[in-house]
Structures are given as structure tokens and as C-alpha cells.
Amino acid sequence: MAEIKRNHTGPRMSQSVIHNGVVYLAGQVGTADASVTQQTKDCLDNVDRLLAEAGTDKTRILTTQIWIADMADFAEMNAVWDAWVPQGHAPARATGESKLATPAYRVEVLVIAALP
């Protein structure tokens, strides 16, 4: 039976879970009340950090889900995403508008990645 490893576990969730060579990240948010640009950068910095801790990186992302509070911010979020995602390694991705946990959050990013 394959081990399940949970990292940064709190009473409600873990920030990452590793199982069978796959890393599942919790939804990552940025600095509350910051711009969409800054929140997206913060989210992706968190993704980089958590993937590195798990022993992988953004070139191994399989799929990403991005939630934004207002689709009017889609282009602003994508400008940050496009600069961050490695050329030739774009994952499968879905983006949708959703009310987030608190109005101070405007972007949330969820990632699933493979280990090397």
C-alpha cells in the first residue's frame, strides 16, 4: 500500500498531500486585499515553494484550476500566469469565476503535479 504524506497539516486541511508519485496542493491564495497581479504572484510563489518542498517543480504540473472572484480580472491574472508558466510545460488548466472564501481574496490557484 502506497504511503500518503501530508505536509503543513492543520485542523482543516493540509497544504500538500503526496501519494503514488503525485503532489496535490491545497488552493493557494495571496495577500488579502492586494491587487489581482500581486495575489496571483503570491499564489504562484506558494505553488513554487510547496512543489520544491515535495521534490518537484512547475515543469511537472499536470493540471491547474484557477478561481477568480471577477472574470473582469482574467487578463490581469493571465499576464502573471503567462510570465510564470515555463514555455512548453503548460498544464491542463481551467479558470472560472467563483466567490472565494473571503472577499479580500480575488484569486485562488489549485495545482496537481507529478514527482520526478
pLDDT tens sequence across 63-103: 999 999 999 999 999 999 999 999 999 999 999 999 999 99
DSSP state of 14: E
Q: Kindly give, in sequence order, each residue whose CB lies less than 8 Å from that of residue 69, ignoring residues fewer than 6 positions away.
A: 97, 98, 99, 100, 103, 105, 106, 107
Total count of domains within the chain: 1
CATH code of the domain covering residue 74: 3.30.1330.40
Q: Is the pTM of this model over 0.75?
A: yes
pLDDT tens sequence across 19-61: 999 999 999 999 999 999 999 999 999 999 999 999 999 999 9
- β strands within 27-99, DSSP E: 28-29, 61-68, 92-97
* 52 lies in some domain: yes
- What's the full length of the chain, in residues? 116
* 11 lies in some domain: no
Q: Could you tell me the residue range of the domain that residue 102 belongs to?
A: 26-114
